[in-house]
Chain A
Amino acid sequence: MKRVFGTPVTDYMPALGLFAITIAYLATAYHYSPDARAVPAGVAWVMLVLVSFDLISRTRTNIGLALMHWLNPAGDPDQTKDQKRYPALKQLSAVIWVAGFAAALVLIGILYAVPLYVFSSLYFRGRRPLLLAIGMSATATAMIWLLFAVVLRLELYPGMLFGGA
């Protein structure tokens, strides 16, 4: 993997991501009146300084190592190298399942999304027996319906495709 100042490029990503978000935030802040932007812009400038320190501390230069040692010793790569890392694809898959479930809730509503998600999560992802997957998804749906619709008397969202606002 390509290294910059002795550190893999990917290790800079969190700090670079935060840097980009802060720049966009700051640019937006300067569209507002001085009173409205005073505190947000101040915080964003402080954030830029802090993220810059974070970026520098990730380099394997003397100043980077010193910053890491003084300000963030727990993040020292030497101390964290033994930590278990998981494949990026596995992490992405876990995030996609959650995002997919959220999208299903919005599109088809709670009473359809819950059994669909629990069943597919157990049967397709977890490779569990069909009967267990059906049983669990029915139980989860019944639990949600009883708790929210019956006990708390709330109207469960029907989904955008079925008339939800």
Chain B
Amino acid sequence: MLQMWLNGIEGLLQLRELAFLGLGMFIGLFFGAIPGLGGAAALALLMPLTYGLEPFTALALSGGVMGGVPMGGSITAILLNTPGSAPNAATAIDGYPMAQQGRAGLAIGAAASANATGGIIGTVSVLAILPIAKDIVLLFGPPEFFLLALLGLVIVSTTSRGKLLRGLITGAFGLMVAFIGYNDVSGGERFTYGIEYLWDGVHLVPALIGLFAVAEMINLSVKGGSVSNNAASVKITSMTGGLLQTFRHWPTVIRGSLIGTIVGAVPGVGGVVASFLSYSMTVQAAKESERDTFGKGNIKGVIAPEAAINAKDCSALIPTLAFGIPGGVEMAVFMGILIVHGMQPGPLMLVDHQVEIYGLIWALTASCVLASLVGLLLVRPLSRVTLLDSQILVPIVLCVAFAGSYAIDMTIENVVLTAVFGVIGYLMIRFDYPRLTIVIALVLGASAERNFHQSMLMSDGKWSIYLNRPICLVLLAGMIALLLLPVARAVSQQFAGRKALPQRGSA
């Protein structure tokens, strides 16, 4: 085991790998600072560029991006009350008031050190869990993997904050799209409507570039102006004090990191839950007299979510790598990079690609620490990015997005697919349908169908196979509970009269 860790570090400590790690970290910082872009868009844009790279180098680049994004997001959350990515919204609750009070430097310093510390704690936790994860994963067969794919979709739908139904709809829509193309079971093509390009199925990477990068750019050009119009608040004061504050409040860092690690390991729950849960637990754990200061510039309110976000990024690798179920959108796109480089996420990956996995974990950790340091140095110019006019930002990002989509396999149809998914993605934003479930369905659809057919072959077509295996029963129970829980909660609230249901004709 120790040898694998060392091999991972050794692989990373090459000039080429370190250069790409640094490049990824800068890109991550840049994309993290721009609300709406974030890690998923950065990885989606970079995916085609990794084609010419060695797998290990591509992982170093990806690790750099994933490690850099949270720091970029926290800078704009604190300075402009504009979270770069959704999880950073929790940071803004106390970070922005600190900036208004002239303590922006303190807040950014604390965010940077909490980010780095959270990343390190998350890495240690993942390194401890990974060896056990392999044994657990090997207990899973086709029936379990089929149900696990469904459970992943259900979990993601239920965590779409009040959008259970629409989450399930986009999940089902994603599955329908995932079934397009050549079918291994019947040996023929399906739903291609005579389009030869679709015989290979809907290409994941151009679809993801469309769903995120293009859709966000359409949205930005509709909204107009710049990402942030509040130039007055881009003001920085001393930052070193903040670095020390994190270590002074070490219980908050440890708690946040552990919450991030646990939440990150659950597929689809994501950074928003991790950061807000960490924030609320910190408020709950505070003394009665201190609680009133939260939301008004308490530094613990910055440290807690930031530690959780980076720890979550590390542990989200567990379901992604071990089960092939992405922990979130960013991980779903990252899975695309793994697949592009011939690494199929799932149980065998933990056996066949151990050096790459450990290299990736170290890359992610190194990037967290480096991004925190560089973020502190670059905070002034980075904050200006959010003031860039959409009229300039949108064409540049779209050019890179479409050219990148074409470059994946030099197929111009990719560009059309990206545009189509860009429009679909924008419609999903416009009509308030979550996009995460469609991504997970696109990733899991084919394997879910294959595992379903294999299960049916194993049982001579008897559905009882899903009831005869203990792990299947646990997964089924989990799925039913997750589906019923939000409904039961809403119904009980309604009947208890705590939340009165609006009656017909009301406004």
**Chain A: residues with CB nearer than 8 A to chain B?**
6, 14, 18, 22, 25, 28-29, 32-33, 35-40, 43-44, 46-47, 50-51, 53-54, 57, 60-62, 65-67, 69-75, 78, 80, 86, 90-91, 94-95, 97-99, 101-102, 105-106, 110, 114, 117-118, 121-122, 125-126, 128, 136, 140, 143-144, 147-148, 152-157, 160, 164-165
B415→A105 contact, CB < 8 A: yes
Given A14-B427, A98-B218, does the pair A71, B165 have CB atoms closer than 8 Å?
A: yes
CB distance from B166 to the nearest CB of A (A): 6
> Per a CB cutoff under 8 Å, which of B168, B217, B222, B504 touches A91?
B222
A126→B391 contact, CB < 8 A: yes
Given A33-B186, A95-B426, A164-B412, does the pair A74, B218 have CB atoms closer than 8 Å?
A: no
CB of B491 closer than 8 Å to a CB of A = yes
**Chain B: residues with CB nearer than 8 A to chain A?**
49, 51-52, 160-166, 168-169, 172-173, 175-176, 179, 183, 185-186, 188, 190-191, 193, 214, 217-218, 221-223, 389, 391-392, 394-396, 398-400, 402-403, 406-407, 410, 412, 415-416, 418-419, 422-423, 426-427, 430-433, 448-449, 452-453, 486-487, 490-491, 494, 501-507
Residues in B neighbouring A155, C-beta threshold 8 A: 410
Given A72-B163, A73-B490, does the pair A36, B186 have CB atoms closer than 8 Å?
A: yes
Which has the most chain A C-beta neighbours within 10 Å: B183, B402, B432?
B402
CB distance from B4 to the nearest CB of A (A): 32
A122→B395 contact, CB < 8 A: yes
Q: Lowest 9 A-B CB distances belong to which pairs?
A: A74-B162, A36-B186, A126-B391, A102-B419, A71-B165, A47-B172, A14-B431, A72-B165, A73-B162
> Per a CB cutoff under 8 Å, which of A40, A62, A110, A160 touches B406?
A110
- The docked-state distance in angstroms from the alpha carbon of A128 to that of B393 is 13
Given A40-B190, A126-B391, does the pair A69, B490 have CB atoms closer than 8 Å?
A: yes
> Per a CB cutoff under 8 Å, which of B407, B433, B507 touches A78?
B507
Closest to A77 in B: B507
A35→B185 contact, CB < 8 A: yes
Residues in B neighbouring A53, C-beta threshold 8 A: 165
Closest to B180 in A: A40
B415→A102 contact, CB < 8 A: yes
A44→B395 contact, CB < 8 A: no
Residues in A neighbouring B415, C-beta threshold 8 A: 102, 105-106
